[in-house]
Structure 1
Amino acid sequence: MADKDVLLVVDVFSNEKDIEKEVIFQAIESALESATVSRYEFPIKARVSINRITGANTTFRRWQVVEESSEFSGGVEFPTTQISLKIAQIDNPEIEVGDFIEDEIEPVEFGRISAQAAKQVIIHKVREAERKKVADAYMDRVGELVTGVIKRIEKGSVYMDLGGNADAYIPREHMIPRESVRVGDRIRGYLKEVRTEVRGPQLFVSRTAPELLLALFRLEVPEVGEGLINVLGAARDPGSRAKIAVRSNDLRIDPVGACVGMRGSRVQTISNELNGERIDVILWNDNDAQFVINAMAPAEIESIVVDEDKHTMDVAVSSDSLSQAIGRGGQNVRLATELTGWELNVKDADEVNKDSEAILLKLVEEFTQQLNVDQDIATVLVEVGFNSVEEIAYVPSSEMLEIDGFDAELVETLRSRAKDFLLINAIASEEKIETAKPAEDLLTMEGMSEELAYELASHGIITMDDLAEQAVDDLLEISGMNEEIAAKLIMKAREPWFANENSEG
């Protein structure tokens, strides 16, 4: 290959592929090295250096320096590519194991086969450089909307051309179910990641990610793109239904109306992009309960009970709208749960009211007995929100005096009776615990000591069944107990359960 030809190849490839010339020079050097090695009947190592200005190339044969081995007569395992450290140090005392020594050799004349091999190496190196360039260009665009043309479809997965020699891949599971697409169609997707594969870096795109919905709203709704409206979350059942939560940063703008658009034009454009996916635009609210009510739309909520500890809400709806609140296959409540972050339990309001009435009647009866008062006073206590004797005993007197018909004498009497009841119960519980004895099956259980069995009994765990019903965390408060011991004891106590299940099967 003439010197001028080398420079010409570099210029052509660099201009056509928009790749740095240094990458092309390195590719040609690698190709010439491969062609040089292929001309020898035995394996050798070679290095080719091309002058970046003149195009002249120099070829070197290389030997790697290794330690001598007594197993081989020549001192090295591969004499055509290796040289012993002792021999190498004759000319260069400072050379070390792993270094190379080189001798310049005449560049070989490349025949048609060698030239073809060189061409393949150059093409391979150029493709690697192109992939790296694409990966570098898109690395900072992860999380953005990308648009491309479908170039081929394989078993439901889609390969799309983004332009500029950039291809992206949409796995089948990230395509919208039942979406009809054809080669040549123009589609959008959410760039999830740029991943290095065996074939080089690949761009992975999704059409099912909730983030795609957010990106489309930023594109189609100017107020969202300008930051006047925030889209704070999205939940999707791809191709079927979705919910997004929006909030306005400008009191003059209706965020829901702006996102829906005149006669639904904006949201309809996004829906069409997502194969007809129906989109509910929900007004964000800082109050979690109100946000859940908004998210459950179009179902009308009659009441809602919040459990902060379990991060759940019991949502009561009328019998007529129960199926609407739950949605087909539980879709509506599932999307609302995903959007709000709360575990939602939808219940029939009529059933909830019946249960509530039963609970209130039971509470009235308990107050009547525990405080030795008539039913009218007990009913008033329940109606104003008292749920236990503890609350009556320790709530400030000033709060109870605000109840209609309650005077200082009645309040003091109720508080005193409540405290007496709690004290009597505490003494009875203490005596019961002190006299508690473990059952025989607990005492004789494998791995159980008498001292530990009595300690468990003092905590109300009398039998093996009692122990089997415990969780590991329940036992950690017992002195000397750790997670490993607790887990072993519980599993041992549950063995009879498993034995019974197997015998029944």
Structure 2
Amino acid sequence: MAITSANQLELLQTADAVAREKMIDPELVVQALEESLARAAKSRYGAEMDIRVHIDRKTGRSKFTRVRTVVADDMVENHQAEVTVAQAREFLEAPEIGNEIIDEVPPVEMGRIAAQSAKQVILQKVREAERDRQFEEFKDRAGTIINGVVKREEYGNVIVDVGAGEGILRRNEKIGRESYRPNDRIRCYIKDVRREVRGPQIFLSRTDPQFMAELFKMEVPEIYDGIIEIKAVARDPGSRAKIAVISHDNSIDPVGACVGMRGSRVQAVVNELQGEKIDIIPWNEDAPTFLVNALQPAEVTKVVLDEEAERIEVVVPDEQLSLAIGRRGQNVRLASQLTGLDIDILTETEESERRQKEFAARTGLFMEALDLDEFFAQLLVSEGFTNLEEVAYVDVSELTVIEGIDEDTSSELQARARDYLEAASKKALDTARELGVEESLIEFDGLTPQMILALAQDGVKTLEDFATCADWELAGGWTTENGERKKDEGVLEPFDMSLEEAQKLVMTARITLGWVDPADLATEEGEDDADDTEEEAEA
């Protein structure tokens, strides 16, 4: 095929038709044509030459040019595409480095191989343009619902035609045992859009909790308008779900608005989710109150929240235990996901037995340490005393208010408690020294003898050892592995040491050893305070 004999206007018309069909910019198709013609010309004139082709956007005429760049004498690498300043004087009056010498060359004859190569270049460019357009169209639609048509199923994954592209609904993103046939209509949540080597990948989901949230937004105008807000969603896809909502208008009931007249709104969502049962729960800022709502339909008699550990203990009537836990732990699991807290459920009987054991243990401690009879020891426990330190160092007035205890008895009780604690401390230090603990650690301020013994038993025997400890190794903490929170036991955790206290002690030890300069520490704290002030000012 000779380019000179081709219908040049028809070339532009073809490019425009391809662009319309693929819904891409016609300029991209023309640029692909120019590149393919340039490749064909290079195969004719030489691959080292810089051959460029320009197609006139009005007439379709192709202009072939050879370009040579002016470079320094010692920088010439390609003699076909580069010339020195001296050589360039033949073509330019005052050549400078970077100038280009452009010569028009005759159009080339395109043989079968060149034409095939040109076709591949055009197809590649069109394909890339399609991918870019598809990514740009869908990248901002992640987090929304889209309607599509099933094209085919591959190894359990469903390929969905979403209009300007294809999405993939993976096997684990389908609800239960859903199955689809070609041409079935399907509604999915766009979970993610990624640009990959093989083109943009649109990942769809029907099990994502936000899919249900978006369905409610479509069915409940108050949610769409922002009057009602969805605060949290937890799902066991195809089986049960919980959704927490709050109303920003006191005159509108968030639960009633989501349920709708005779349950019409929630039923539309249930039908889309293959009969998934949905509990709509009023959200509350108070975590225990919110949890009581989240565990519905079970009744809760007592809630104890541990904010530091993000755990919550719930006491329910004995007959409500199975309802609170739910089938295969479903109810408590969804409530945990909804609140973001680990939940321990106890029956009233179990909680009563635990309290009785704690009462008996404290009673036994006071009987042994203070040489008291059972009645007197039980009296102290009943008044809220939990350990010997409280008895030894509490204000005398808090003991004398107990019926049957006067000032003399109070003084005697405190003396016995202090003697016992001193003897226990001496024994702990003696044992620690036998284990090899150095005096530098024993004399370090902030550690009790019992703490020093616990550290020694864990292999921490010097101040240097202590200074290398992490705060969570001392005070304990929580880590998340594979989505499950696991407890890290701290050496000093039994002594109720917090992470902040552990951080302060470790830093003090490092300063004492000279590892950290207090001045540097003060400077860093000053910078942090300044940053905080700037952020507050910006806010």
With the length of structure 1 as denominator, give the TM-score of the two structures. Answer: 0.76
Code of the residue aligned with 2:422 in structure 1: it is I
Q: Deviations over 1:81-102 (max 9, x none)?
A: 6657688767686446xx9866
Partner residue, 1:134: 134
SS at 1:301 equivalent: coil
Partner residue, 2:27: 22
With over 3 angstroms needed to count, the CA separation of the structure-2 counterparts of 1:11 and 1:339, relative to structure 1, is same
In 2, distance between residues paired with 1:411 and 1:308? 39
Contact 1:370 1:418 in 2 (8 A): no
With over 3 angstroms needed to count, the CA separation of the structure-2 counterparts of 1:467 and 1:386, relative to structure 1, is closer
With over 3 angstroms needed to count, the CA separation of the structure-2 counterparts of 1:212 and 1:399, relative to structure 1, is farther
Partner residue, 2:143: 143
With over 3 angstroms needed to count, the CA separation of the structure-2 counterparts of 1:289 and 1:416, relative to structure 1, is farther
SS at 1:265 equivalent: helix
In 1, distance between residues paired with 2:126 and 2:453? 75
Code of the residue aligned with 1:431 in structure 2: it is K
- Per the TM alignment, residue 157 of structure 1 is displaced from its structure 2 partner at its CA by 1.6
Determine whether 1:431 maps to 2:457: no
Q: Deviations over 1:142-182 (max 9, x none)?
A: 2222221122221122222222x232222333222311222
Q: Deviations over 1:187-245 (max 9, x none)?
A: 22222222111122222222222111111111112222222221100112222222111
SS at 1:305 equivalent: strand
- Per the TM alignment, residue 322 of structure 1 is displaced from its structure 2 partner at its CA by 2.5
Determine whether 1:251 maps to 2:250: yes
Contact 1:476 1:483 in 2 (8 A): no
SS at 1:109 equivalent: coil
Partner residue, 1:446: none
In 2, distance between residues paired with 1:169 and 1:413? 81
Code of the residue aligned with 2:468 in structure 1: it is N
Gaps of 5+ in 2: 1-5, 474-539
With over 3 angstroms needed to count, the CA separation of the structure-2 counterparts of 1:418 and 1:132, relative to structure 1, is farther
Partner residue, 1:51: 56
SS at 1:140 equivalent: helix
SS at 1:336 equivalent: helix
With over 3 angstroms needed to count, the CA separation of the structure-2 counterparts of 1:282 and 1:462, relative to structure 1, is closer
Code of the residue aligned with 1:222 in structure 2: it is P
In 2, distance between residues paired with 1:88 and 1:205? 61
Gaps of 5+ in 1: 70-74, 444-448, 469-473, 488-505
With over 3 angstroms needed to count, the CA separation of the structure-2 counterparts of 1:481 and 1:398, relative to structure 1, is closer
- Per the TM alignment, residue 370 of structure 1 is displaced from its structure 2 partner at its CA by 6.3
Code of the residue aligned with 1:31 in structure 2: it is S
> What is the number of residues matched between the two proteins?
459
> Aligned runs of 1:268-347 on 2, under 5 Å?
268-347=267-346
SS at 2:213 equivalent: helix
In 1, distance between residues paired with 2:63 and 2:150? 46
Determine whether 1:460 maps to 2:459: no
Contact 2:69 2:82 in 1 (8 A): yes
With over 3 angstroms needed to count, the CA separation of the structure-2 counterparts of 1:54 and 1:264, relative to structure 1, is same
Determine whether 1:199 maps to 2:164: no
> Aligned runs of 1:404-423 on 2, under 5 Å?
419-420=414-415, 423=418
With over 3 angstroms needed to count, the CA separation of the structure-2 counterparts of 1:413 and 1:112, relative to structure 1, is farther
With over 3 angstroms needed to count, the CA separation of the structure-2 counterparts of 1:151 and 1:303, relative to structure 1, is same
SS at 2:129 equivalent: helix
Q: Deviations over 1:113-134 (max 9, x none)?
A: 5444433432332232222122
Contact 2:151 2:160 in 1 (8 A): yes
In 2, distance between residues paired with 1:259 and 1:231? 10
SS at 2:28 equivalent: helix
Code of the residue aligned with 2:138 in structure 1: it is Y
- Per the TM alignment, residue 45 of structure 1 is displaced from its structure 2 partner at its CA by 5.0
With over 3 angstroms needed to count, the CA separation of the structure-2 counterparts of 1:154 and 1:395, relative to structure 1, is farther
Partner residue, 1:494: none
Contact 1:88 1:95 in 2 (8 A): no
In 2, distance between residues paired with 1:9 and 1:325? 69
Code of the residue aligned with 2:11 in structure 1: it is V
In 1, distance between residues paired with 2:455 and 2:48? 80
> Aligned runs of 1:16-95 on 2, under 5 Å?
16-39=21-44, 45-61=50-66, 94-95=96-97
Code of the residue aligned with 2:304 in structure 1: it is V
Q: Deviations over 1:378-436 (max 9, x none)?
A: 656645655345556777899899x8xx58x9586787566545543443344334434
Partner residue, 2:160: 160
With over 3 angstroms needed to count, the CA separation of the structure-2 counterparts of 1:13 and 1:379, relative to structure 1, is same
In 2, distance between residues paired with 1:414 and 1:283? 54
Contact 1:393 1:415 in 2 (8 A): no
Contact 1:394 1:415 in 2 (8 A): no
In 2, distance between residues paired with 1:476 and 1:160? 65
Partner residue, 2:503: none
With over 3 angstroms needed to count, the CA separation of the structure-2 counterparts of 1:27 and 1:243, relative to structure 1, is same
Partner residue, 1:107: 107
Contact 2:392 2:418 in 1 (8 A): no
Contact 1:88 1:101 in 2 (8 A): no
With the length of structure 2 as denominator, give the TM-score of the two structures. Answer: 0.71
In 1, distance between residues paired with 2:249 and 2:455? 63
In 1, distance between residues paired with 2:62 and 2:413? 101
SS at 2:280 equivalent: strand
Determine whether 1:482 maps to 2:477: no
Partner residue, 1:119: 119
In 1, distance between residues paired with 2:439 and 2:385? 41
SS at 1:299 equivalent: coil
With over 3 angstroms needed to count, the CA separation of the structure-2 counterparts of 1:215 and 1:372, relative to structure 1, is same
With over 3 angstroms needed to count, the CA separation of the structure-2 counterparts of 1:462 and 1:396, relative to structure 1, is closer
Contact 1:62 1:101 in 2 (8 A): yes
